[in-house]
Amino acid sequence: WEGLGEAYALKDTQEEQVLAVKSAERAVQEDPELTNAHALLGKLHAKAGRTEDAIRELKTALEQQPTLSDASMDLAKVYSNSGKLKEAEETYRKAIEARKHDYYGYYMLGLFYAENERYPEAETQLKKAAELAPANETVARELGGVYLREAKYQEAVDSLKKACVGGKDAACFSALGMAQYYLRHYQDAVVALERATVLDSDNHEYWGQLGAYAKRIPGGEARAAAALKKASALARAKVRPVYRDYDLHAALAEYCARLGEAQESLSEAAKVPRSASQVYALRLLTSYEIAGARKKAVEMAGPSLNRASLQNLIKDHPDLGGLWQDPQFQAALQPARKL
């Protein structure tokens, strides 16, 4: 019954997921000591949103076999997704204690801290994971992302270069380019984004980055304009009139601003409501600044910009130096810093 449940669980249809649960339940009814069956039930309940059932089954599996890594990770995710962050953290730490030489526990705890914007703690755990798995490109990529949010741009570059060794991860080259851009290594940033656009030519984000970065190198204006027009066309093709595609409108606001289309940029930015502006704050601030609408950028300051990691990205951004030094912007930021 356990094997049958595992086979059904690999299928995507709702009917087969139900059969997977029934098979796993039959397995534990016949033998309550079947640890993997309890773990499977926990995973299936979690997938279906049955939080308490998932917690019960996964805890049972771990009581029977404390070193069962997958069950620990699944239980921690269930806790995290249900807002039980203390329990999630404790579960990750117990998993690490049970398997101290396995990189995966440190990696998952690092991701947990990063998701909750606890970046110094995330860095510590991901560095430990990297020590245990030095050739793991995924670990190197996530560590590089944390360094970016800590404004440790050279460390980000070093880690992301390791992550890009395989040469097949467009998102990794995008992040590497961003780190290079913040270091003002514009030519290196262009090289990274050219690779990203080769790997994924339909992603407007990569073309937008390439356009922004190419504009900073001597003689790069035509190259930048072509990339930005490509980014704009790809983004516009994805916009759905009856949907709230705020990410696309924020992206288009930046692309239009960089193309010198100030009014079109402001029109796109206006489609992003204030309630969603924090999510796209960096992009909107960049759009306003380039479009010559600093007053609107200043109006965005305050509680919506209260994250230290976001303020680092604003402060160090090659296009936002003037905004950051503006006394009005700084004055508007003060309430945010007191939160």
- The pLDDT confidence band at residue 2, using thresholds 50, 70 and 90, is confident
Interval 31-38 mean pLDDT: 91
CA dihedral 291, 293, 294, 297 (to 10 degrees): -90
Q: What is the pLDDT of residues 238-279, one digit of tens each?
A: 998 778 899 999 999 999 999 999 999 999 999 999 888 888
Q: Is the pLDDT of residue 303 over 80?
A: no
Q: What are the pLDDT digits (tens) for 36-75?
A: 999 998 999 998 899 999 999 999 999 999 888 889 999 9
The Cα 335–Cα 138 span in angstroms is 37
Mean residue pLDDT across the chain? 93
Provide the percentage of residues in the chain whose pLDDT is more than 70. Answer: 98
The span from the CA of 292 to the CA of 261, in Å, is: 11
Mean pLDDT of 196-211: 98
The predicted pLDDT at position 270 comes to 95
Q: What pLDDT sits at residue 337?
A: 52
**Rounded mean pLDDT of 99-121?**
95
More confident residue, 275 or 326: 326
Q: CB–CB of 235/271 below 8 Å?
A: no
CA distance 154 to 123: 14
Is 112 within 8 Å of 89 (Cβ atoms)? yes
Residue whose pair of structure tokens reads 């027009």 in the numeric block: 229
Closest by CA to 210, choosing from 180, 238, 246, 237, is 180
Task: Tokens 């995507």: give the residue.
Answer: 12
DSSP H or E stretch at residue 52: helix 51-64
The answer for residues whose C-beta is within 8 angstroms of residue 286's C-beta and 6 or more apart is 254, 257, 317, 319, 320
Integer CA distances (angstroms), 154 to 103, 115, 338, in order = 24, 22, 29
**Cβ distance 32 to 56 under 8 Å?**
no
Axis crossing angle, helix 103-115 with helix 119-132, rounded to the nearest 10: 160
* Per-residue model confidence (pLDDT) at position 70: 87
CA gyration radius, the chain: 23
- Kindly state the average pLDDT of the residues 2-22: 86
For residue 335, the model assigns a pLDDT of 58
The model's pTM is 0.85
CB 132 within 8 A of CB 101: yes
pLDDT band for position 5 (50/70/90)? Answer: confident
Question: What pLDDT digit, counting tens, does each position of 142-197 carry?
Answer: 999 999 999 999 999 999 999 999 999 999 999 999 999 999 999 999 999 999 99
What pLDDT, in 10s, does the model give residues 284-300? 999 999 999 999 999 99
What gap in Å lies between CA 53 and CA 320, rounded to an integer? 49
pLDDT of residue 339: 42
Contact 143, 159 (CB under 8 A): yes
Q: Which of 230, 224, 220 is nearest to 210 (CA)?
A: 224
Report the pLDDT value the prediction gives residue 118, as an integer from 0 to 100: 95
263 versus 305: which is more confidently predicted?
A: 263
- What pLDDT score does 241 carry? 79
